[in-house]
Structure 1
Amino acid sequence: MEFKAVTEQQWPEIKEIYMEAFPKRERKPYFTLRHSVKKKKAVVMAAVEKDQLLGFTVLIPYKDMIMVDYLAVSSKIRSKGTGSYIMQNVCREYADKKIVLLIECLDNAADNRDQRIARRKFYLKNGFTASDIFIEGASGEMEILNYGGKVSQEDYISLQKYALGALFFKLSGMKIIKRAKV
């Protein structure tokens, strides 16, 4: 398996995995993803084996941080270590940065309760830690996890404003919330 930048020919596969992996409320419009890459605001890296795209991650570098905006693995090969392979490569390639990501908050009443627990367990197994920062926005209540050092609330909001742009950040309604520790 190789970890490398996405090529132009792989974008149709990226789109297919992106659309299947994320519910509509968690997806940015696909064209904005492409636009962010063209403007060098985001980087898309993929796990590839024998010219087959297995999964990808969308990374947003900002100051001393890297935000894992999306991580997705093809439904055809999930639970075979590809997600861990991608995360290990991200953590190795950006060892000098604080790496942050969002996950849905644990909620016993949620329809996807088991998926939320599994997702959190996956990131903790891959070396991420709780930041004790929670946000609320268009995607609901989310928890911020980090690797390589904790980010402050101010730095995280600054990163999101950069990632989304001022207008979309304002429209997202994103704000820090208080929540009991998990």
Structure 2
Amino acid sequence: MRIVPIEEKDWPVWQTIYEEAFPLSERIDFDELVQLSKDNPKINLSKLMELDQIVGLLCHVDLPDQKGFILYFATHAKQRGMGLGSKALVAMKELYPNGFILESEQIGTQAGNEEQRQSRFKFYERNGVKASDMLSHNMSGDFHLMHSTETITSQDYLKAINMFGIPAEISKI
């Protein structure tokens, strides 16, 4: 699995995966994301490549000290359940050896998609991305902050999410 910056020719595929994977309430307009990545070299729009095929997407922020924040991560709907997400997480750990942080929808809230939320949460945990004791409250809801190492913190998260202009508050679980 390789993480590669997208090129303009990749935009339609990236946008399709993005719109299929994330509800409208959790998405930033695609054109706005592209502009943010052009304006801020720390914001990256990348494609997940397996055998020279785009199998997913990644929107991520490079933080100091080889740390990162993952805002959006998804594999193509047609290729889920093939181990590609696990391979992508390994690649992210290589990209950010001192840790990355991401959001996972809050579980245990009796949400309409509770089973899907539980599945995602367990997927991250199986792949060594652990839940912190912090929740983020932002534009689209409440999210567990999950991290690949103990060295990445909620303060790193707040710096990164701010780059997208997304106000967020943190609370302990």
Q: How high is the TM-score relative to the length of structure 2? A: 0.89
Shift of 1:150: 4.0
Q: Is the 8 A contact 2:48 2:56 kept in 1?
A: yes
Letter in 1 for 2:16: E
Q: Is the 8 A contact 1:59 1:66 kept in 2?
A: yes
Task: For 1:134 and 1:30, locate their aligned partners in 2 and report how far apart those are by CA, in whole Å.
Answer: 26
Q: Is the 8 A contact 2:2 2:48 kept in 1?
A: yes
Shift of 1:35: 1.3
Task: For 2:159 and 2:2, locate their aligned partners in 1 and report how far apart those are by CA, in whole Å.
Answer: 32
| Structure 2: gaps spanning 5 or more residues | none
Q: Is the 8 A contact 2:58 2:70 kept in 1?
A: yes
**Structure 2 CA distance for partners of 1:17 and 1:104, relative to 1, 3 Å:** same
Q: Is the 8 A contact 1:57 1:86 kept in 2?
A: no
Identify which range, 143-152 or 24-33, moves more after superposition. 143-152
Give the aligned partner of residue 169 of structure 2. Answer: 175
Identify which range, 66-75 or 145-154, moves more after superposition. 145-154
Give the aligned partner of residue 126 of structure 1. Answer: 127
Q: Is the 8 A contact 1:67 1:100 kept in 2?
A: yes
Question: Among 78, 81, 84, which residue is 2:86 paired with?
Answer: 84
Q: Is the 8 A contact 1:46 1:86 kept in 2?
A: no
Q: Does 1:61 align with 2:55?
A: no
- RMSD of the TM alignment (CA)? 1.8
Task: For 1:2 and 1:135, locate their aligned partners in 2 and report how far apart those are by CA, in whole Å.
Answer: 29
| Structure 1: gaps spanning 5 or more residues | none
**Structure 2 CA distance for partners of 1:155 and 1:42, relative to 1, 3 Å:** closer
Task: For 1:98 and 1:145, locate their aligned partners in 2 and report how far apart those are by CA, in whole Å.
Answer: 10
**Structure 2 CA distance for partners of 1:74 and 1:132, relative to 1, 3 Å:** same
Task: For 2:151 and 2:140, locate their aligned partners in 1 and report how far apart those are by CA, in whole Å.
Answer: 23
Identify which range, 55-64 or 113-122, moves more after superposition. 55-64
How many residue pairs get matched? 171
Give the aligned partner of residue 13 of structure 1. Answer: 13
The percent identity for this pair of structures is 29
Shift of 1:11: 1.1
Task: For 2:13 and 2:135, locate their aligned partners in 1 and report how far apart those are by CA, in whole Å.
Answer: 32
Could you say what secondary structure the match of 2:78 adopts?
A: coil
